[in-house]
Amino acid sequence: MIRLGSLVLPALLLALPACSRGDASTDASPLPVVSSRPAPAPRPAGPAELALVAPLAPGSTLDGFAVREIRAVQDGVLMLVCEKDRAVVRLSVALAVDDGPTPPAFAGRYAVFYSARGSDPADGERLAKALAAILEKHPDVPVPPGMTSFVPTPIPI
């Protein structure tokens, strides 16, 4: 014997997809697709990148800031993340070009840019120049694979 109440819930669940919030022809704004996957973590620097910035390594100090990360070249740029207290300065090393943005520091064929959060911009410029001084000590180190010129983009911090 089938009870009537036992059929109500399955029937409602089957009817639910047929329900609509309005006429589909007037709803011109589809819902955005949101990925539940987090962005992949940046890869740590390999031997080519570390050779260029030696003797810096994660955990070392650059002009009073701790080097938290040295990342592999991504989107043409080698990045170092430096911290001091709550201040974060990201240093980007790319190939210098004549028609690109003017960097705060040059080192031979390299341009050094920065972005700073919770820090005075003077800290970013000072760290960029300190990194450039290190890069100048390695003129014979090959350009890391994938490195290109700098193209400014917003950097999530």
- pTM, 2 dp: 0.72
Question: Which residue has 């040059």 as its token pair?
Answer: 106
Give residue limits of the domains in the chain: 47-136
121-128: long-range contacts, CB 8 A cutoff, minimum separation 24: 123/65, 123/84, 123/87, 123/89, 124/89, 124/91, 126/63, 127/62, 127/63, 127/65, 127/82, 127/89, 127/91, 128/91, 128/103, 128/104
pLDDT in tens, 59-82: 999 999 999 999 999 999 999 999
Residue range 109-130, pLDDT digits in tens? 999 999 999 988 999 999 999 9
What values do phi and psi take at 33, rounded to 5? -85, 125
d(CA 99, CA 101): 7
Per DSSP, the residues of 138-155 read: -TTSPPPTT--B------
HSE-CB for 145 with a 13 A CA cutoff: 4
Q: Residue 28: is its pLDDT beyond 90? A: no
Model confidence at 151, pLDDT cuts 50, 70, 90, reads: confident
Q: Any idea which of 97-101, 139-143, 150-154 has the lowest mean pLDDT? A: 150-154
